[in-house]
Structure 1
Amino acid sequence: MKQLAIVAVLMVAATTASASELIVRGLFKNAVLLEINGQQQLVRTGSSHPGGAKVLSANSRSAQVRYQGKTHRLTLNKRIGTLYAESERQEVVLQRNSNREYRTRLQINGRSAEAVVDTGATKVAMSARHARQLGIRYDDAPVVSIATASGVSRGFAVKLDKLAVGGIERHHIPAVVVDGEYPHVILLGMSFLEHVDLQERGSIMTLSAP
């Protein structure tokens, strides 16, 4: 019986060692940052990862990938493995664009918008137009002064009930609504970023839940 038990353990260990794992670490127009068995590579549409995955199509929201004889429609941080089903990890990988920005989609109170990561902003900041689009009421919020590139503007201090970037979700995030059209894109500031682990390597930034 002991010999059988040892053989069984060895078989499980061998199966685990030979198991392959694919994770979508980043999504971009016509390219995907794929990780297979720990090896990351940016793979463009029509090309393949050394681990055997071919990218058929890709945009900033999802990618179609051919892997192990099957075609998968994958979103950010989805993984495929031989021993388990697809699952979501609380990690977001962003690639710096030509303007040296890290942009991402986020969800505020269930509504989607684009944002740029800004470690120099103390709070999440948005224009009054963004606030209206996202259904954020600020008329009765405390008035604050906001320093902008064009001078000092009037703002409103609010709290976001829920803010999610990929699988990372946080609640009651302090934010400011700036009166007017500035900023042109929502600033994902430190009132959210202080709740995540942030790493930057080259042109890649990784946000992960601590």
Structure 2
Amino acid sequence: MTAEADSVPLTHRLYAEAFGDDCPYELGTFSSCSWWLLGTIVGALRLSPGELLADLGCGRGGPGMWLARATNTRLVGLDFSGAALRAASARVDYFGLTGRAEFRRAPFEATTLGDASVDAAVSIDALPFAPDRLAALVEVRRVLRPGARFVFTGRTGPVSWPSLLQKAGMELEEQVVHEGANARWLRLFGLWRAHEPQLRAEIGDPAADQMMAEADAGHRLVETTPLVFVARRPLEETDD
């Protein structure tokens, strides 16, 4: 292994190994983001140059900045983690988005964005962690302009995303299976277990404990199906 490869954190190297050719390595993400998912999002959002994209639960910002760069749009990223937002802000120049990207600390249900101010929104592996999922979707509807689309990832299970979207006043246009996502996660969990001593040395016991607990529960993934949802705020609306 080269000195350059050795300088990359083991967590990143294992993620890249598990995802293989599907891994958008430059994004530095630990989500289910893949090249297929990025392409699906670009096609679904139908953004025009100069429009505003909101990345909800953006973390370190890689996917949102890649999408903004690919579509020549502006970006606002929101997350609860100050550390993640600082990391995202530090990479704005790298993605060529100087003057076109900003990051704010805000929860899903109170984004600080104006009414109908956003041309599209995306959320990768973050919306399921919102404390109040319905309130989060109501907020998404509020900030989207009429006709604008929202693409997010979720899973089958006790929560019915189509039902929540309907209650929030959103239209579900499409839901597709994120093929291969479960297999990639299971490979990653196996790599975490195989490299547990090295991970503990690199990131410390508390973080490693969390990773091992996630890996131990990984078998539950095969009981659910990873999905990509495409929803939009209706063009014609009647307010009660």
Q: TM-score, normalised by structure 1?
A: 0.30
More helix by share: 2
More strand by share: 1
**Structure with the greater relative contact order (CA < 8 A, sep ≥ 6): 1 or 2?**
2
